[in-house]
Structure 1
């Protein structure tokens, strides 16, 4: 039985900052951000959106009357959780008006958690073939204004349905893991901004990719030449390019150029949004599927997932017949095309307007945000989520 991605969609708020203009405001050469980091625009998150509402706005696009009652498990990967006890998946289940007799769980391991959710969902469907699983990765990447990490911020959510007989991608067996206790990136409970050792994290990312790719090839007796494309978790798009180039000596020049070409397609959307943390790899997947002119059913795509701290996984998925029809490319592109640019001062104001991690009551500027799901504020230490009828 084939199991994999049946539907997939993406959400990010409607505002962005131009990276060339941000570079100038920070007294940097634009090329440092545009080429050195590989980013053109960066999503800016208003105080009306958090991990829960962005997940709801993404998932709402793939849930309908045909699949709603078949969903019996919700797996929510995030490192931007809003409660140390209650799962973000419970809030999501309620906002999406899903059945009450289902399981809803939040998963955490930095940027790797959504991949963990996909693999758990696959096993669940193998055991329960009639089931459909909603898997979401939703995050806000924050490092602070005027910091070294500022140009690698961003935010958004990717949602997918994992099912039998998937329309888009079938996930292959096996996969390869590598886990090590390292301190390359973390966010203490008292902080909204992460702590990162950038150079160390980059080195570990490439090392984990090499280890998991090699282990996968050993397990499956396969080679790089079997893959039409290799896509990556992209905290910034230059990172994935460095990792890909590190293994191109394992294949011939023609195939190496093919992998480089497909990588360029896979990073188009991430260049426009920035870091999604848990959803980043799957935004790369969407970008490849929407933008590549070369993909055909039956071809295999390699996926490298990395979560600092650290855990990595490499696995392969096969494109299904008529996958292009199931992607809904026009709707995905429209999310990015309909956004509005903020000036640097407007961006800084929006960045600083986030609801603080305190027990104070708070009211957001919900008249600004037209999204279907939004955060109205906090009252009596409870977040107030709203569903706008549109």
Structure 2
């Protein structure tokens, strides 16, 4: 008998600061509707220098791990394009912070926004072969395009942590997926840059083309149609992107199905709209948002589209499990988002510039007001100094 494998628990972390998109639009001399409606964002997470992808991942993972589950973790797969070291994996730092067993395999994965999906699929295959094992999969990033750039409105940051197990509480992954890869220069960040380079309109067109390709191939492999799905979840660098993707396939559904799928999409973008772009974590924050705000029932099938510029796309699916809401702390997540503080555009710009210097010199960060369980205190002797409350 085949054992179901998939996502057992999900945690999410984003820092306590945000900038309101209406305020940013006014500061940039733009109509707020261009950001709020045209792009589809209300708030954008602001990442203080005391948080990086490692600390955000630790803060997300701490929500879902217990001493018992830590003991069963055999692998950490960390998807990010905001790595802190060109050699040492962020997963190794994370495993140490979380005090995971020393026989844990820890690897960092990079392919733009696709890295966490690669981690999820590798984790699922690992657990299918070892049903007693658990795998921690991370999608954590800080989206940076630069101040006063065309991409500024699609910045943000945070981390999603997923525990992949047999007999999962949240989503049992189907065995079949479809993927497509092509060498495309729609978005990239050379090693000498701290901000990404992007051709926004071209990237949107590639995203939509890849979605059509993998969706068509998935249907050919499975003989499933749009009628077999209760919702579609998209990688959301900004929420309007997923809406465009869904609109490409809605005409094949009945009017009743169109209304239901549209409502599911609205639920799936609610939290992303409040945070902004998470790169590797965006698809999985969207999944969490649908689980939190949608009207799902056990046994319903969801479709997920993952896209990483450069470019790689994958469409896969999973079945919602009964009692899926036990796999995340809804009250905590609601309070985390509601309890954040707005900063002025001037403060946002200052925080954006407050990175650790790139020349390797020692640095001490102001940590007196830090409330997150895990944080970055600075750098000494070219080594990052991580701390825990």
Q: Which TM-score band applies after superposition, normalised by the shorter structure? A: over 0.9
- Structure 2's unaligned 5+ residue stretches are none
Does residue 353 of the first structure (1) align with residue 354 of the second (2)? Answer: yes
In structure 2, distance between residues paired with 1:271 and 1:374? 25
DSSP-derived class of the 1:75 partner: strand
Alignment correspondent of 1:31: 33
Does residue 316 of the first structure (1) align with residue 321 of the second (2)? Answer: no
Alignment correspondent of 2:53: 51
CA contact 1:169–1:317 (8 Å) conserved in 2:
yes
In structure 2, distance between residues paired with 1:357 and 1:36? 35
In structure 2, distance between residues paired with 1:226 and 1:14? 39
In structure 1, distance between residues paired with 2:153 and 2:82? 19
DSSP-derived class of the 1:54 partner: helix
Decide which of 193, 208, 211 is 2:210's aligned counterpart. 208
In structure 2, distance between residues paired with 1:130 and 1:173? 19
- Structure 1's unaligned 5+ residue stretches are none
Decide which of 164, 168, 171 is 2:170's aligned counterpart. 168
DSSP-derived class of the 1:167 partner: coil
1:281-327, Cα deviation, whole Å (9 max, x unpaired): 000001000011x2100000000000000000000010111112333
DSSP-derived class of the 1:212 partner: helix
Q: TM-score, normalised by structure 2?
A: 0.98
In structure 2, distance between residues paired with 1:277 and 1:72? 25
- After superposition, the CA RMSD in angstroms is 0.8
Task: After TM superposition, list the pairs within 5 Å mapping 1:170-189 onto structure 2.
Answer: 170-189=172-191
Alignment correspondent of 2:343: 342
Structure 1 residue 356, shift from structure 2 partner: 2.7
CA contact 1:3–1:126 (8 Å) conserved in 2:
yes
DSSP-derived class of the 2:68 partner: coil
Decide which of 186, 189, 192 is 1:190's aligned counterpart. 192
Does residue 377 of the first structure (1) align with residue 368 of the second (2)? Answer: no
Alignment correspondent of 1:78: 80
Alignment correspondent of 2:137: 135
In structure 1, distance between residues paired with 2:194 and 2:275? 19
DSSP-derived class of the 2:175 partner: coil
DSSP-derived class of the 1:358 partner: coil
In structure 2, distance between residues paired with 1:227 and 1:260? 12
DSSP-derived class of the 2:34 partner: helix
Alignment correspondent of 1:328: 329
In structure 2, distance between residues paired with 1:202 and 1:232? 13
DSSP-derived class of the 2:333 partner: helix
Task: After TM superposition, list the pairs within 5 Å mapping 1:282-301 onto structure 2.
Answer: 282-292=284-294, 294-301=295-302
CA contact 2:303–2:315 (8 Å) conserved in 1:
yes
Alignment correspondent of 2:147: 145
In structure 2, distance between residues paired with 1:287 and 1:298? 18
In structure 1, distance between residues paired with 2:169 and 2:140? 23
Structure 1 residue 186, shift from structure 2 partner: 0.4
Structure 1 residue 259, shift from structure 2 partner: 0.9
1:63-91, Cα deviation, whole Å (9 max, x unpaired): 11221100010000000000000000000
In structure 2, distance between residues paired with 1:334 and 1:136? 22
Structure 1 residue 248, shift from structure 2 partner: 1.0
Does residue 13 of the first structure (1) align with residue 27 of the second (2)? Answer: no
In structure 1, distance between residues paired with 2:315 and 2:149? 31
- Number of aligned residue pairs: give it: 387
Alignment correspondent of 1:261: 263
Decide which of 112, 128, 137 is 2:114's aligned counterpart. 112
- Which has the higher mean CA deviation after the structures are superposed, 33-42 or 241-250? 241-250
Q: TM-score, normalised by structure 1?
A: 0.98
CA contact 1:289–1:327 (8 Å) conserved in 2:
no
